[in-house]
Amino acid sequence: MSKTVTDDGFVVFDRVQKSYDGETLVVKDLNLSIGKGEFLTMLGPSGSGKTTCLMMLAGFETATHGDILLDGKPINNISPHKRGIGMVFQNYALFPHMTIAENLAFPLEVRKMSKSDREAKVARALDMVQMGSFGGRRPAQLSGGQQQRVALSRALVFEPDLVLMDEPLGALDKQLREHMQFEIKHIADNLGITVVYVTHDQTEALTMSDRVAVFEDGRIQQLAPPDQLYEEPQNSFVAQFIGENNTLQGVVKEINKGIALVQLDDGSLIDAKPVNVSKPGERTQVSIRPERVEFDMSRLNEGAHTLKAEVLEFIYMGDIFRTRLRVAGNDNFIVKTRNAPDQVRLQPGQTVEIGWQAEDCRALDA
Ligand SMILES: Nc1ncnc2c1ncn2[C@@H]1O[C@H](COP(=O)(O)OP(=O)(O)O)[C@@H](O)[C@H]1O
Ligand SMILES: [Mg+2]
């Protein structure tokens, strides 16, 4: 579970804009305040401006407009190595001619630390990533995963308060990546450091973060803890980008007692929670998670609207059943049901009734 972090503005982006060519803004108007000790992830599709934001925070790019503050002080004019920020990137760029221990000692030498202090800190940082016995090797003698661990420990060795990571696990295979997600998270929590993490992988973002900022086209679409992002997406982009999601198009007929009655484009009626619709006549896209759709109408509130659906595919996946349906013209409507002993197995071609609680279905922007 993510910890509760007070947003004390340890890192602040204040109306930050960035243009590389003097014309197009790749970061449009970034306002973001990150708490001390927080693990904040910038998540978004490729080209949405995540790396640019990290580079401005690190000091390798300058903001075209606005301020970036670290611990209350503007850092616009402080050079990168004076910001005291640890960094890990996908291309770990260890110095190939140095041993692992020398690689780690390097940032400490730059900081003019004594030899004995250096050795103690290097040993500690390598132990932290379980690489204590590899100090004498060269980078080429390590696997990709081991090199990435070394890169992580090099970013931590001078005990920075803030560490930036840009897709650090992108080059690793799935199993190692998942393992490292937990490891990084645990190390960050234990050390109490603030992490700004960049990824395009939503599972990674949900697994690791205290809060996630979802980027699209240079703007934050939503900033929220993982559970809230998944359960309460504020718009269609976030609903589609985070997790699996079903959408149906329609028009709001009425809004009554906090429930929107929506007429889908095939004429059928369903209930939804009005999130960013406010009046009858508005077009909307309703959004419902696959695990919130019911086949058993007795589980719904009285008076709930239901829909007819045709089963197109029924897949046994061990822990769950995954059913693909045709619903109101959508051929890719997915329902996930838990594999329980009494769960009915459906047949393709069969017609079924589906429904949901109004609060589980969100009426979003069209
Ligand atoms: N050094 C650069 N010079 C010019 N354009 C750049 C540069 N770096 C990034 N861009 C452009 O800025 C936009 C945002 O890129 P980036 O911040 O790398 O996004 P992300 O990390 O989300 O994939 C993209 O359109 C990209 O092509
Ligand atoms: Mg990037």
Cα separation, 275 vs 258, whole angstroms: 10
Q: How far is the CA of 55 from the centre of ligand 2 (A)?
A: 10
Question: Looking at residue 356, what is its pLDDT?
Answer: 96
Query: Nearest residue CA, atom 5 of ligand 1?
Result: 20
Q: Which of 16, 17, 19, 20 to mutate to test ligand 1, by most ligand atoms within 8 A of the CB atom?
A: 20
**Which ligand is nearest the CA of 52, by number?**
1
* Ligand 1 geometric centre to CA of 217 (Å): 10
CA of 11 to the centre of ligand 1 (A): 22
Distance in Å, CA 109 to ligand 1 centroid: 33
pLDDT of residue 80: 87
Q: What residue owns the CA closest to ligand 1's atom 7? A: 20
Residue nearest to atom 8 of ligand 1 (CA): 52
pLDDT of residue 1: 46
Nearest atom, ligand 1, residue 46 CA? 23
User: Which ligand places an atom closest to the C-alpha of 43?
Assistant: 1
Tell me which ligand sits closest to the C-alpha of residue 44: 1
Per-run averaged pLDDT (10 residues), the chain, 366 residues? 69 97 95 96 97 95 95 89 87 86 91 91 91 94 90 90 93 87 92 96 95 97 96 96 95 95 96 95 97 92 91 95 96 95 90 95 96
Atom index in ligand 1 nearest the CA of residue 51 equals 21
**27 neighbors 14 (Cβ within 8 angstroms):** no
> Which domains are seen in the chain, by residue range?
11-236 (3.40.50.300), 244-365 (2.40.50.140)
Q: How far is the CA of 296 from the centre of ligand 1 (A)?
A: 48
Distance 14 CA to ligand 1 centre (A): 20
Q: For residues 77 and 283, what is the distance between their CA atoms, to the nearest angstrom?
A: 48
For ligand 1, atom 1, which residue shows the shortest CA distance?
Answer: 20
Q: Which ligand is nearest to the CA of 62?
A: 1
Among 72, 283, 61, CA closest to 161? 72
Closest atom of ligand 1 relative to the 53 alpha carbon: 17
Atom in ligand 1 nearest the alpha carbon of residue 49:
17
Residues with a CB atom less than 6 Å from ligand 1: 20, 26, 44, 46-52
Query: What's residue 4's pLDDT?
Result: 62
